[in-house]
Amino acid sequence: MSAVVIAGEPHLALSPAQFAKDPETAKAINEWLGSVDAAARVRWSLANLPGPFALSSSFGAQAAVSLHLVTRADPGIPVIVIDTGYLFPETYQFIEQLSGQLSLNIQRFASPQPVAEFEAQHGKLWEQGREGLDQYLELRKVEPMRRALKTLGTNTWFAGLRRSQATSRAALNPLEVRDGRFKVHPIFDWSDRDVYLYLKAHGLPYHPLWDKGYVSIGDWHSTKALHEVESAEELRFAGLKRECGIHGLEG
């Protein structure tokens, strides 16, 4: 087996490509990661996985958890923010609030095309069905994220995805390989209650729109509050899809 266990903790010396082709090691590592707490997952990843490291954040409703958890272990880690140009004013406020509170190393990336020019060329793609929405997300979110990871030379990417957030995330593992790099999900198995308790214990805020019923927060033009929809699937993207594509998930 490629992972050598010392005092109960596995040590990994595989590249992402090797890890992806070694299901036995991947299973053992993920089982161990699933048996320890989120802070231990972060510490283990920083000690065993290759840098440079980066943490992505949408600065959504519960974003403070991952930001606090990861930056406690690595205070200078780059925090990637993808600015579509259509974020809520409250989201920009939240970014500034948490940046100051947690001394974050914010790295902003965006489409090179300004919003006005973008709409002049493409119109309001998010109103043009699934095909238009997919094109919008590729141009304003996925391409900037791809460029961010490349620009920063990221070899290990932390993200705050959780299995309980959506059916498209139900099979998440704490450690995966995406696009040739390691991807770590330290709170993959957390419940909403776990999130609440962590925020409360560390004096961390929810997004300013949380109290107005916004529990899944993205761009202002394709995000709805709970009182505006009949089902949770309609909270984002008019129910046409759940995932924006940044994380390599379908749904």
Catalytic residue set: 244
| Distance, CA of 126 to CA of 128 (rounded, Å) | 6
> Are 182 and 158 a contacting pair, CB within 8 Å?
no
Q: Write down the residue that tokens 């993808």 correspond to.
A: 82
Burial tier of 98 (Cβ tally within 10 Å: 0-12, 13-18, 19+): buried
What are the angstrom distances between the C-alpha of 117 and each of 88, 112, 122? 20, 10, 9
Partners of 56 in beta bridges = 80
Residue of 86, 63, 105, 216 lying closest to 144 (CA atoms): 86
Q: Write down the residue that tokens 């990871």 correspond to.
A: 149
